[in-house]
Structure 1
Amino acid sequence: MFNVRKVTDDLFWVGGNDRRLALFENIHPLYHGVSYNAYVLLDEKTVLFDTADWAVGRQFIENVQHVLNGRPLDYLVINHVEPDHAASIQEILLRWPKVKIITTPKAVILLHQFGYPLSAGQTEEVREGDTRTFGKHTVTFAAAPMVHWPEAMVTFDTTNGVLFSADAFGSFRSLDGKLFADEFDFDGEWLDDARRYYTNIVGKYGPQVQALLKKAADKIGLDNIRYICPLHGPVWRKDIGYIVDKYLHWSSYEPEEKGVMIVYASMYGNTENAAEALASKLADRGILNTRLYDVSSTHVSYLISDLFRYSHLVLASVTYNLGIFPPMHNFLADMKALNLQKRTVALVENGSWAPRSGALMREELEKLKNMNILDDGMTLASSLQEQNLPDLEALADAIAASLAQ
């Protein structure tokens, strides 16, 4: 049975929601599902913007058929060829073999690599600034390389102000019957999922996102964008400046807010105890915007997400085999892989006979850009003792002073 939503008078959401998928890209946990968005435009010509993951393929096809209502499908615009959006292309080709595919030259290469049976002349390659008219609607295309694949583009409908933004402005989480961001309590329900999606999927490519945002401002004009239709998550039709501002912060690696994220690696609870004690000392100083995480039991996608949120980070790690505790080492590697920068960091190390994790964590952090590593750190010998309290107080004072700047 079809399940569609109307975006504008002649534009329809024809996607689907997947609540069975446990790991997005087989790595990021999904506790609230994910949507795969696609859109059909009914003009003199009919246009499908992207397809969907095969997990929702049956629903997607029924939705497209319902909206077309017997009309042929004239065009398929492919903004992004990643399989969670392109897996149903072959089914579209089987059902509407005369459809013309509009996409980038690099996308055509990837379509062949994925083995889609494209007939000669079936693809129409477009480049930056090209336009196509489907009747009363005229669209223009803008390249979006490495946001977050090299073939990606976005499509802007100059007639009604709809931006088909590919993976930009997307989010984890299923839509649950709703479609528009203003139909949710976005701050309360969605912001964490949107941030976790951006930081882990697109986060490495901040400069490319900045370039795309500048292109949108200069060539389209942000005031001309009335709708943002991403490939995951809700459609934006109100307060578009809100989500654009979030992307400006995330893509420039500027923290959203002042606060302290304490991530600890503890084998038997002693390093955890020190992290808890530090959080209490910060609370004594009126610093309440803090979060504590056990690096061993928290999926790294959540750590990365909050790291993009908060201005300050404390890493507290036991020494393990004369190195950094492996889950903490992995977290540092992910920070580097996702280009994290512009944070203030304090270090706490623990070790029963040769504490070295602090110096080794500093070495890893120094590989990142624009990181401020506080000189005030703390070394523990097995556990937090009375003699460590002055160092604990000094560390809390240094973090508080830094937050006050």
Structure 2
Amino acid sequence: MTVRIANCSGFLGDRLAGPREMVDGGAIDYLTGDWLAELTMSILTRQRDRDPGKGFPGTFIAQMSEVLASCATRGIRIIANAGGVNPHACAAALQEVVDAHGLETVIAVVDGDDITEDFNRSIASGKWDGSHLTSGEPFSSLGETPTVVSAYLGAWGIVEALDAGATLVVTGRVSDASPIVASAAHHYGWGRADLDRIAGAVAAGHVIECSAQATGGNFSFFTEIDDLTHPGFPVAEIEEDGSAIITKHAETGGAVTTETVLSQLLYEIDGPRYANPDVIARFDTVFVDQVGEDRVRVSGAIGESVPSHLKAGAVCNIGWSAAMSVAVTGLNRDAKVDLLLSQVWSQFPKGRETFDDVVITVTGGLNDASRNPRSVDDATALLRIAVAGRDKTLVNRFPRVVVEQLLGGFPGMALPTPPTKAGLRQQFWPTLVPTEQVPER
């Protein structure tokens, strides 16, 4: 029997009502979601450092409290990477919700993705250079110690949890498609050697992993979709052979067409060989066919092999940044901008070179003395200056220096926003790690 797998979240800030909409909107067997973008891991790490009981999206607990009873009644299993960098604490918080509702939900945790300590030991000993996935540079060239290093786990730890009777599986970092692959693999009893079937589930999972991007969100031809006010989230109806129908609940906004599905299928891939933890899926063999209204069949994916390495992401703190916006009103826009910049840089020991990075943008306003503006808005440009550097004191001083020019600067200068403090600047470093070095549990 076809398994219906719903996605209710594509990132930490996605629609809070997503889980409730997918549970109430129609028949599903599995509720899955993605709460983790790359830099989200570092944000959650800082939360965990401040409080050992944190490090996972708190909104996820509130979302689950709305649907756990319905899922238990209807036999819907939940798989989510919302464990963040502290999946066991997330499971403990979920258990409190389960107990409060008097449910018999069985919670499992999949961990092993946090390889920070092993990564640091390997780099320090010279055992491994952690080379950048695209540039090939060794990690040592960054000159930093990562705050967190997470490997992207596959589906089999989740399958093991489901096989053991779990009805709610919480993971740390897994590949975005892994919860969908695991749902189908458990449902049909696939094994690790069923590469074509797994590749089909990877294709389906890749299509629905970013929620409404499969139903018209982020779609270049969005004006061709009748109603995007509140697009529905996608459902993958996966067959035993790995092929799938991508659809959405009836009477929800957006659309599922060959174009919306192809748009998402081509998202975040690097050529036809799409490497997932459990299979290298060939996307150049995939057929995408409209088989009904809001029903698109995805079939033909071929599983080439199982990768010997997993992708891992190291997040490092690389200094501080701050930005200020300035309204530049009236004629002689460029001269006014030049004056303000000269005033600001004069207050720092090395001028503009005090900072490692400086980004300056000017949008709108007047740079032609012959123009006669009809309104203040028409005559106003927005200058944005952003700086970054290792010295927090200097970066923190920058917004104040801009403010200090207000009465001694160019005519018509205004600040649309108040000054801010220096914020932590971070860098994501993708690399590959041998699969056998990652202790998935």
| TM-score past 0.5 threshold | no
TM-score by length of 1: 0.30
More helix by share: 1
Q: Flag the structure with more relative contact order, 1 or 2, with Cα contacts below 8 A and sequence separation at least 6.
A: 2
- TM (norm. structure 2) is 0.28
